Structure 1
Amino acid sequence: MEKENIHIESVWNEYYDQLLRFIRKRVPDKATAEDLLQNVFLKMLTHIDSLKDSTKIKSWLFQITRNAIADHFRKAKKTENIPVVLSEENNELSDDVMEEVESWVAPFINNLPAKYREALLLSELKGMSQKEMALYLGITYSAAKTRVHRGRLLLKQELTECCIFHTDKYGNIMNYESNPNYCKSCNN
């Protein structure tokens, strides 16, 4: 039992500041932000057994935090004032989180027709620019842009059929849940 307390305490010490900053960027009131963080750690304590891979604790904690923020705004009935959750300038997602996202997006991309699948793998997951991709594939820049655009549309269609997304007024994803009537690409 003492070993578990040390582990929980080390998680608390390691992620407290990061999570508080993450919350404070979205919840202006310091006391409310600290209350939300306390709730996050309480949820962590009560649901730690549901974490299947301890190497993904950071992304798991950030997901709990995003859910706590969404719940806070839902309860306060101030959804019209929800701040941007994931913008380029305040995005604290690490490479670990991106790897996790890639792991669940990859099956959806793999279901796409070959030319769109290849375009998205190169541009979105490999980070290749569309101009580089055009040269690599031996197609025109215009064709590369078209493939990426159509691939994104098809991917969006697959994702929205499989999952129900909850967004803020800016279109940023706050939370998601699997659609029980459709889910051929993911394991949910």
Structure 2
Amino acid sequence: MLEQWQQLKHKLRGYVAHYVDDEDLVDDILQEVYLKAHTQLHQLKAKGSLSAWLYRIAHNTIMDHYRRTKPHEPLPEELAQPQTEQVGLAHQQVAQCIRPFIDELADKYRQPLIMAELEGQTQQQIADALSLSLSGAKSRVQRGRQQLKRKLTACCDFEVGQDGVLDYQPKQKGCQC
């Protein structure tokens, strides 16, 4: 491999230099490529693909370098998480908004959705109460959610965060939101 490395070293250096501006860093990455190739040579399936294999190692090593050195800046204070009270208020407002949309769903989707989302029942409990198979109950809850989502997104714009819905705005004046 040493002989082939010597033949490809100049081309690999040019490849690395294309992505990295610092000459010392280019040499460091090239050395790391050689070490990785040398220690993992047993994984090379066909000797004829050594060149492509070395370029793949070089590419991955460059990407690893940029992942390690990616600058991390702290988030500004004005992006702090909303207060729990604000989130709770938004949840209550959205819950009041959602009920009329749920009531518009066909009964076979409305009832399982109410049981799952508003009453907090498990899907097995829903299946038992409605004499459905578990997969049937799951399917109806999921389809009810999809239909509800379509109705809501047609009417309102939602701001969603890590804790769920943070805020919403009606798209039209006549919307029920």
TM-score (norm 2): 0.48
Q: Which has the higher contact order (CA 8 A, sep 6+)?
A: 1
Query: Larger C-alpha radius of gyration, 1 or 2?
Result: 2
